[in-house]
Amino acid sequence: MPTYVDPDACNACADVHGGPQCVYICPNDLMVLDSGSEKGFNQEPEMCSECYACVKLCPTDAIHVRGYADFVPLGASVQPRRVDLGLTWTVKFRDGRELQFTYPSRTKPAGSSQPYQSFTEDPVADLKSQALAGESLWLGVDALPTLASK
């Protein structure tokens, strides 16, 4: 459902890493800064997949989603807010009812992964083997299965 930006809330967030966050993140190159008003703006709403990547990242909660006018009745909204390692969603119904849900998104803070920690495969000796990096540690069974018939 296409995003729209509340102009009063948007501060163009140009000082954040990567520049205006919605422009930075949109996977479909939709969000731009309007050259006149310096506000975030969806330049092609009919190509928006309401993935919410921009909504989740906007530092001022300025981005909302209005369901596609073609088939979504007016009046509802679904809005996320980041909480520690997760999101809280507020779901407002057309008839005014409201639900709230909080779900975890990750077990570790961003930036804490250590790609090859404790891997034992030798990059030279094991290069021709079928094993992938770290499988002796992470496969979960003693040996990589293969087919007896071959």
Site for ligand SF4 in 22-51 (CB under 6 A): 22, 26, 28, 30-31, 40, 42, 48-51
- Amino acid type, 68: Y
- Residue matched to tokens 């009919």: 46
Q: Is 108 in the site for other proteins (CB under 8 A)?
A: yes
CA atoms lying within 13 Å on the CB side of residue 88? 8
Q: Which of 7, 81, 104, 120 binds other proteins (CB under 8 A)?
A: 104
Q: Does 40 bind other proteins (CB under 8 A)?
A: no
**From the list other proteins, ligand SF4, none, partner contacted by residue 6 (C-beta under 5 to 8 A by kind):** none
The number of C-alpha atoms within 13 Å of 7 and in the hemisphere containing its C-beta is 7
Q: Which does 36 bind (CB under 5 to 8 A by kind): ligand SF4, other proteins, none?
A: none
Which 3 state secondary structure label does DSSP give 47?
Answer: helix
Q: How many H helices and E strands in the chain?
A: 3, 7
> 88 to each of 6, 21, 67, 113, how far by Cα in Å?
20, 20, 20, 24
- Please tell me whether residue 135 binds ligand SF4 under the rule CB under 6 A: no
- Per partner kind, with CB cut-offs from 5 to 8 A, the member of ligand SF4, other proteins, none near residue 83 is none
Cβ 90 to other proteins shortest distance, Å: 10
60 lines the binding site for ligand SF4 (CB under 6 A): yes
